[in-house]
Chains A and B, each alone.
Chain A
Amino acid sequence: MLLKWVVRELLRNWKFSLFFIFNLSLGLSGYVALEGFKTSLQEKMNQNAKAILSADLSISTRREFTSEEISQIDKIVGADTWRSRAYEFFAMLNTQQGSRLVLVRAIDENYPIYGSIEFASKKKVLGSDKKEILLSPSIWIYSELHSQLGLSAGDAVQLGSLKLTVADVVEKDGTQTFRAASIAPRVFINRELLKQSGLIQYGSTFTQSFFFKIADEIVVEKAKSQLLESFKDPGIRIDTSKSAGQESGRQLGYLQDYLGLVAIVALFMSSLGAAYIFRLFLVERMREVAILRSLGMQATTAVSIYVVQVVILGTLSLFPTLIVAGAILPFFSKALNVFIPFDLEPAVSGTAVALALLVGVVGSLVVCLPFLLKIRDLKPIKLFSEEKFSNEIEVSKFWPFLPGVFAFWVLAMTQANSIKIGSVFIIGFFSVLLVLFGSGLVLLNLLKFVRVFQSWVLKYSILGISRRKTSSLAIFISLGLGSLLINILPQLTVSLENEFKTEETSKIPSLFLFDIQDDQVKPMKDFLQLESISSIGFSPMIRARLLRVNGNDFERKLEEGQVFRTREEETEARFRNRGINLSYRDQISDSEVIVAGRPFAGVFNGNTQKHAELSIENKYADRLGIKIGDIIHFDVQGIEISGQVVNLRKVKWTSFQPNFFVMVQDGVLNEAPKTYITALPKLPEVKKNELQRALADKFSNVSIVDVQRTVDEVLKVAKQMNWSLELMAILALFTGYVVMYSIVSSQVRLRRWELNMLKIVGAGFGSITGYIVTEFLVLALGAGLIGSALSILVSYGISYYVFEGSFVWDWFYPLLTALGVCFLSVVVSFLASRRVVRESPLVILQEER
């Protein structure tokens, strides 16, 4: 009987059913599309894991392995195991057409152990194949160098002191993970040529890796745990194809996390819309429920009818969700494919479908819970009273909303892969709701005192807003939230673009030089003087390793666990595993500012000071949990030095000035082996290119970064990311507007009796429409302005804390948003009220039994 009743009611109210499904599926589709994309990407990554790592097991470090370490590796992995050894580092490639920073991979005859490299000449090289670059002094170049410098097979190039011929152009590198990950195109050379190239010198930054072929997965895992056991140095990284596949997928992870959060916003908005529609549906059913109850139906049975209805509708919304998600997915792929080295044909996976079903059904139940509880609490005695049936939720009884809040919190954490980000997001989100609620309440209370209008339309619409608090607040919050969401992305984009633009016109350098040897500083200074160029200053850079903080060993963490559960764990492990560059200077640069503590007290004095003074970049300190006063021990080329943190610095990294995470007091590291970095001020394009070539020619081991090119690359990547974020924001926006339409039209529908009553007492059609439009316009104007203002605050917060950039206020988007929300509210309320006004008043009065 129950199911029959449920189905009959849903079919008879097919408009409600369809609208509910439409609302819910809109929000779900973004979420499902993203899940589908993530799953497809991860599956593809796992499939290609061996090729990406180009081995079953790899061991790498950013220094030379010691002979003891190599013996240990041989002992664990087996001296006769099939292996390859490679170096990777940045260097300048000199050609007749110009110089370009490249990422050199110096390989041997067994590389790549897995995967292949495909060339423009249609050749394909596997690990077992003979390689042209190993037979003659030649080089393989990535296709970017062909397009940027016009290099082709047969052209002569210079790399350090090596004179090489381009053997072929790489079209597809199976060992590459993400294209946008590197700012320099890759080239391959023979490892045997490294020595004579002079490219790797003392202090040079490079990575050395061993790649092994071990067919048995169990042996791989065993070898990995033995290696982890043997090497306590967190700077030695051990990867298996399994972990490489998982981690490669994560490189797009942060973008996916944020896309996920936007998807949740869309989901929240659509749930809000669905809940609203459900509420309206229930208002119309309340009398029937009361009758059923008076006829003997139990409260639980009455609730069950509507629970089953919600479950059915939640399940049915899966179908349009899959259709919309399937339509969105290609756009996702298009937005993100520049980052992915292989063809990805994402499809909505079984996992995504299961998740959609879960979120659709559980989500619907959770958002409709407050209204379902109203059915449970409905007293049939109401049938005897003259009071109308309502389904308004008293704001003070907020607990039925808590499961919904909790569900969104869990979703946010899983989407962001971070308890912290997920929680901050939810706290931020609900704080915004609270602010909107508070400001809405203030607005409604202020409107109570507005009594100046002569026109009944204005007078009674203002009166209506302030008297119908619950519905007015719900509309106000929805519109405010919509305005806020619409506005955040454009605000952030403006700030981000401005950040680069400002620097470009003022202090951003043209070239950034690193790996300058101690003995090259003077000749380089002389050379620059001859060229009438003043460098920003030469900053020493000393490679070191963090040993202890306050006496606690700073050891490898979590590598054994393979998979990081949260982004925080991943970040912490990454930071711990990295070596660190120390520097010193007598005063802070223009691009940094001390945010806590005091400046250095002059030059280090070994007689009076036990520890050197340290200055730490504030975010770095935050990640590692370092505070002012902490004692830190470093290993500098085998010598242990200690320092005490005296200040925390905020660094403006986008200034592209030479800056460091850790600065040591002057007088401590002055004698340590070091390299230098420097930046050259803005130069005309021709001069810059000439200088770059001359520098690469004269100081072949020095790497030069073309800053403007890098900025362009960063902006290109940012734009590409923005594109995908915009795609999701458009979905959130569209959902927001649909929800707004749902709310406005359902509100008008709820009040159709009142509107017809006005008609009966003589109000004209225009006046009635004006009455409704005024109400929504006032609410939309208030919500639009407050939502837009809040979006400025939120964007400021994100700019400040996430991008560390200076915030630029842009009035255009907030104004546009506020006006847009007003316009849409006017249009929707106009259309909705017109429909009601056209109905015969008699029909509506007869409905009102």
Chain B
Amino acid sequence: MSLIVKNLCKSFYQGDDKVPVLQSVNAEIKNGEIVAIVGESGSGKSTLLSLLAGLDRADEGQVIVDSFDLSKLDERSLTKFRGENIGIVFQQYHLVSHLTALENVMLPMEILKKDEAQERAHSLLKELGLEHRLHQFPSRMSGGECQRVAIARALAVRPKIILADEPSGNLDVQTGEKVMDTFFNIIKKYQMTTILVTHSEPLAKRCQKVLRLFQGQLLEA
């Protein structure tokens, strides 16, 4: 699934002052491509990611996923589209605290009424090395384990696009590397289009393309 970004603009208000964050951002990401977006803190990386995920609306411009223009979809259609096509991995994991690891991964599949949710969740968690933690609650798991569950949840419905926001940002170097190894293995295996926001140069280097966000513009690094 390809992703085209056309003239994307987004500003925020600080009191009465309008602060532009993204200024006419353009990009084209091909089907199965793994792209890293890097940039300084406050450069608008996470804002861009949230616009690509349809979590926020741009002031101007378009995000076109295959033939769907996300800016034209209403809230309900956008939610449905996101659920079926986009998997998101957050830096803070954002797992549902009263659900076990297995249930957290099953949840999106059950929402979309996918068959064999339990089997698929089980196999994904096994692939991520969490077979022994299936019935643990997030509060009883380490950061690395939580992030792996979050990755499994993002991959569960086999979305066409994966958006990851600093997926290893909360983990130590060693754990981060391990988690990302597994992550890359899986997205490559399923040929998922992936956009990864990161501060980490080594992580960015593992991607096929690196884009730098600088002064509201997206530039090829």
| B27 → chain A closest CB, angstroms | 20
Task: Chain B residues near A762: list those with CB within 8 A.
Answer: 79-80, 82-84, 108, 111-112, 157
- How many A residues touch B, CB cutoff 8 Å? 28
Residue pair A467, B98 in contact (C-beta under 8 Å): yes
For A483-523 the 0/1 string (1 means CB < 8 A from B) is 00000000000000000000000000000000000000000
The complex places the Cα of A848 from the Cα of B108 at a distance, in Å, of: 21
> Which chain B residues in 71-117 approach chain A with CB under 8 Å?
75-76, 79-80, 82-84, 88, 90, 92, 94, 96-99, 103, 107-108, 110-113
The complex places the Cα of A41 from the Cα of B91 at a distance, in Å, of: 67
Task: Chain A residues near B92: list those with CB within 8 A.
Answer: 848-849
Task: Chain A residues near B53: list those with CB within 8 A.
Answer: 760
Contact of B79 among A459, A753, A765, A842 (CB under 8 A): A765
The complex places the Cα of A463 from the Cα of B79 at a distance, in Å, of: 24
Task: Chain B residues near A842: list those with CB within 8 A.
Answer: 50, 55-56
Task: Chain A residues near B99: list those with CB within 8 A.
Answer: 460, 463, 467
Interface SS majority for chain A: helix
Within 8 Å of chain B (Cβ to Cβ): is A377? no
Task: Chain B residues near A456: list those with CB within 8 A.
Answer: 107, 110-111, 113
Within 8 Å of chain A (Cβ to Cβ): is B146? yes
The complex places the Cα of A456 from the Cα of B82 at a distance, in Å, of: 18
Task: Chain A residues near B94: list those with CB within 8 A.
Answer: 753, 757, 845, 848
Task: Chain A residues near B80: list those with CB within 8 A.
Answer: 762, 764
> Which chain B residues in 108-141 approach chain A with CB under 8 Å?
108, 110-113, 139
Task: Chain A residues near B176: list those with CB within 8 A.
Answer: none
Task: Chain B residues near A849: list those with CB within 8 A.
Answer: 92
Task: Chain B residues near A841: list those with CB within 8 A.
Answer: 55
Residue pair A840, B98 in contact (C-beta under 8 Å): no
Within 8 Å of chain A (Cβ to Cβ): is B148? no
Within 8 Å of chain B (Cβ to Cβ): is A284? no
Residue pair A763, B83 in contact (C-beta under 8 Å): yes
The complex places the Cα of A456 from the Cα of B90 at a distance, in Å, of: 23
Task: Chain A residues near B32: list those with CB within 8 A.
Answer: none
Within 8 Å of chain B (Cβ to Cβ): is A386? yes
The complex places the Cα of A824 from the Cα of B140 at a distance, in Å, of: 37
Residue pair B55, A845 in contact (C-beta under 8 Å): yes
Q: Which residue of B lies closest to A468 (CB)?
A: B98
The complex places the Cα of A760 from the Cα of B88 at a distance, in Å, of: 8
Task: Chain B residues near A759: list those with CB within 8 A.
Answer: 79
The complex places the Cα of A460 from the Cα of B88 at a distance, in Å, of: 21
The complex places the Cα of A759 from the Cα of B78 at a distance, in Å, of: 10
Residue pair B107, A761 in contact (C-beta under 8 Å): yes
Residue pair B98, A464 in contact (C-beta under 8 Å): yes
Within 8 Å of chain A (Cβ to Cβ): is B45? no
Residue pair A764, B108 in contact (C-beta under 8 Å): no
Within 8 Å of chain B (Cβ to Cβ): is A388? yes
Q: Which of A463, A762, A848, A849 has the most CB of B within 10 A?
A: A762
Within 8 Å of chain A (Cβ to Cβ): is B61? no
Contact of A386 among B75, B76, B110, B143 (CB under 8 A): B143
| A771 → chain B closest CB, angstroms | 10
Residue pair B55, A761 in contact (C-beta under 8 Å): no
The complex places the Cα of A294 from the Cα of B88 at a distance, in Å, of: 33
Q: Which residue of A lies closest to B170 (CB)?
A: A386
- CB within 8 Å for A764 and B79 given contacts A456-B107, A456-B110, A758-B111: yes
Q: Which residue of B lies closest to A766 (CB)?
A: B76
| A455 → chain B closest CB, angstroms | 9
Within 8 Å of chain B (Cβ to Cβ): is A754? yes
| A447 → chain B closest CB, angstroms | 13
Contact of B98 among A459, A463, A758 (CB under 8 A): A463
Within 8 Å of chain A (Cβ to Cβ): is B160? no
For A759-792 the 0/1 string (1 means CB < 8 A from B) is 1111111010000000000000000000000000
Contact of A757 among B50, B96, B139 (CB under 8 A): B96
The complex places the Cα of A757 from the Cα of B103 at a distance, in Å, of: 14
| A844 → chain B closest CB, angstroms | 10
The complex places the Cα of A372 from the Cα of B80 at a distance, in Å, of: 43
Task: Chain B residues near A840: list those with CB within 8 A.
Answer: 55-56
The complex places the Cα of A765 from the Cα of B110 at a distance, in Å, of: 15
Task: Chain B residues near A468: list those with CB within 8 A.
Answer: 98
Within 8 Å of chain B (Cβ to Cβ): is A387? yes
Residue pair B55, A760 in contact (C-beta under 8 Å): yes
Task: Chain B residues near A845: list those with CB within 8 A.
Answer: 55, 90, 94
| B210 → chain A closest CB, angstroms | 25
For A810-849 the 0/1 string (1 means CB < 8 A from B) is 0000000000000000000000000000001110010011
Task: Chain A residues near B108: list those with CB within 8 A.
Answer: 761-762
| B215 → chain A closest CB, angstroms | 22
| B12 → chain A closest CB, angstroms | 11
Contact of B146 among A386, A460, A764, A767 (CB under 8 A): A386
Task: Chain A residues near B110: list those with CB within 8 A.
Answer: 456, 459-460
| A767 → chain B closest CB, angstroms | 7
Please give 19 more A-B residue pairs, beta carbons under 8 A apart, in addition to A456-B107, A456-B111. A386-B143, A386-B146, A388-B97, A388-B139, A456-B113, A460-B103, A467-B98, A468-B98, A758-B107, A760-B55, A760-B82, A762-B111, A762-B157, A765-B79, A841-B55, A842-B50, A842-B56, A848-B92, A849-B92
Q: Which residues of chain A have a CB within 8 Å of any CB of chain B?
A: 386-388, 456, 459-460, 463-464, 467-468, 753-754, 757-765, 767, 840-842, 845, 848-849
- The 3 closest A-B CB pairs, nearest first, are A762-B83, A456-B110, A761-B108
CB pairs A–B below 8 angstroms (27 shown)? A386-B143, A386-B146, A456-B113, A460-B107, A463-B99, A467-B98, A754-B97, A757-B94, A758-B111, A760-B53, A761-B83, A761-B107, A762-B83, A762-B108, A762-B111, A763-B79, A764-B76, A764-B79, A765-B75, A765-B79, A840-B55, A842-B56, A845-B55, A845-B90, A845-B94, A848-B94, A849-B92
